Chains A and B, each alone.
Chain A
Amino acid sequence: MKILELKNISKSFGAIHALENVDLDISQGEALGLMGDNGAGKSTLMKIVAGNFSPTNGEIFVEGKKTSFSNPLDSRNHGIEIVYQDLKLCNNLTASANVFLGREINSGFGFFSRLKHTAMNDRAAELFGELKSETRPNDLVERMSGGQRQAVALARTRLSDPKLVLLDEPTAAISIRQVAGVLTRIKQLKETGHAVILVSHRMLDVFECCDRVAVLRRGNKIADKPIAKTSPEEVTGLITGALETA
């Protein structure tokens, strides 16, 4: 089943066309690598799916139903979780506070509600355990290594049971040793029936864990084919423009 379908998505900022008539879809249990050079429109496309921008033109379908996202919460409520490239962590807060940011567990209602610190810390500890991270819920994020920070950002996506997880350059800011861990997590997500979109510059990562690769160049999707039917050389050519289309 198609989890997410984008049809004819265009986005312009004044005279600049960041995206032009892009179609993209992804099914359950599938991992899609989204590649392209800087300025190709990857981030814009991500932000549209994340609910940060609304497209100038085009339609978004989630599980076959037409929807629109007016803010990041909308997108989350539709079962789409995003791990941003810069992780969007608050250094001054604890790991647990970061995981639950915007979705705190409360008792009571409205003004008379209260944060349930213990419940959140326990759940965060569980999530870090599942991610095989040594992060402790009460540690401050500013005291963490790159890998631990990433675990905090990834733990957020596990709060709900998302249909689609978007990862924006998840391996860009961490040590080589930790890359394997991230790729394992992507495979885990796939095996548990989630759809994954991996935005990456790293050919190796995409070819190791994705089923399909889509290439953007100057706001247009110029290729979308199964990993098995392409090669890193071809994809590189498509990204740089050495090859016009696939």
Chain B
Amino acid sequence: MFSYNRLLFLIDHLIWGILIVVFVFFIFQSEHFLTERNISNILAAAAVLGVLVAGQTFVLISGNFDLSTESTLGLAALVGVWLIVPAGTPTNGGGIFMNPYLSIILTLSMGALIGYAIGCLITVGNMHNFIVTLAALLIIRGLMLAFTEGAPVSGFNNPSADVFYWLGHEKAFKVPGFGNIFVAVLATGLIYFICHLILKHHKFGRELYAIGGNRDAAEALGINVNRRIRQVYMLSGILAALAGWMLAGRVVSIQPNLGETFIFTVFAGAVIGGVSLQGGRGTMLGALGGVLLLSTIDRGLNLMQVSVFWIKVIQGSIILVAMLIDAQRVRLQELSNIATSEKKL
């Protein structure tokens, strides 16, 4: 029997169906797809994207945007490595040779500070989140380019690097069929679990949904909306910095354009995973599905040796399809609401 609710349920869980279809498609397209090495790579790539999407999910649920996270990711990776490079090495570092643990703390704090500043500009400065985060995206990227003068920074081959690169580089254990599982994958899994607990079972998460659903109501009921928004941007900044730290361990040297245009993939991941751009809707499980789907498609197309130009076209189309699905979901939701509330009258 046709029902809006059933259709909505299908759309909300469509992601897992698509994931399976795409996965099977690539298995037939490339003999290298279903190899331990490839699966391990998909998961490792999903880890970095996943951390950014987790932060974005929180921001989106609260009814906001954060375009700046790709730049924060890049800056965090750059600064983190820059700080641990010993003096006199020709790697463009700061020559500070900082204790790597301290450098990690500083990197994450920097992310928090960037997020907090953005949150303050939006809530205290009363500016639109789109403009503020767009400006931050440009400013942070510009700072990276200006400080490095466009040259990459590399921190390998020094004793501090092992500690700093551990998160992104270290393999935790081997699982038959999945290959080496990176520490990063476990870390992202843990982050998703904690984020899920916060959204579902903590007052903070409940309040974010309320703010995204009806900001006015949240305010009238005594929720400190502006404070929550600052906190959510701070969380997004910390997670972006953590993703940068993670990514630093996966790339040999930090290019000043590290993470550029990544934000599109982040939004696509969240939206495909059912996180609404209108605020108030989305789950960590859905976001995880979006992340896995995009990482799978990315690796699959690479293995099929599709040209990078076409990959861009495909990525753009995926975003468009995701938006289309989101728009239809909103429309269906409204129709379904009318149908049920009419029945109850």
Contact = CB atoms under 8 A, between A and B. Distances in A.
A89 B214 contact: yes
Contact of B206 (A71, A97, A144): A97
B221 A102 contact: yes
Nearest to B216: A88
Contact of A142 (B217, B219, B220, B333): B333
A102 B333 CA distance: 26
A8 B203 CA distance: 39
Interface residues on B, range: 20 to 34
Contact of B210 (A50, A76, A87, A101): A101
Interface string B214-249: 101111111100000000000000000000000000
A106 B206 CA distance: 12
Nearest to A71: B222
A243 interface: no
Contacts of B206: 93, 97, 101, 104, 115
A90 B202 contact: no
Interface string B323-345: 00000000001001100110011
Interface in A120-139: 134
A136 B222 CA distance: 25
Given A73-B222, A90-B218, A102-B222, A143 B341 contact: yes
B341 A145 contact: yes
Contacts, number: 85
Interface residues on A, range: 35 or more
Contacts of A92: 209, 212-214, 280-281
A171 to B, nearest CB: 16
Interface of A: 50, 52, 71-73, 76, 82, 84, 86-93, 97, 101-102, 104, 106, 111, 113-115, 117, 134, 142-148, 175
Which 5 pairs show the lowest CB-CB distances between chains A and B?
Answer: A88-B217, A73-B222, A90-B213, A92-B213, A102-B221
Given A91-B337, A101-B221, A134-B344, 6 more contacts: A71-B222, A86-B216, A88-B221, A93-B209, A144-B341, A144-B344
18 contacts: A50-B220, A72-B220, A89-B214, A90-B218, A92-B209, A92-B214, A93-B206, A93-B213, A97-B209, A101-B223, A102-B223, A114-B202, A115-B201, A115-B203, A117-B201, A143-B340, A148-B344, A175-B345
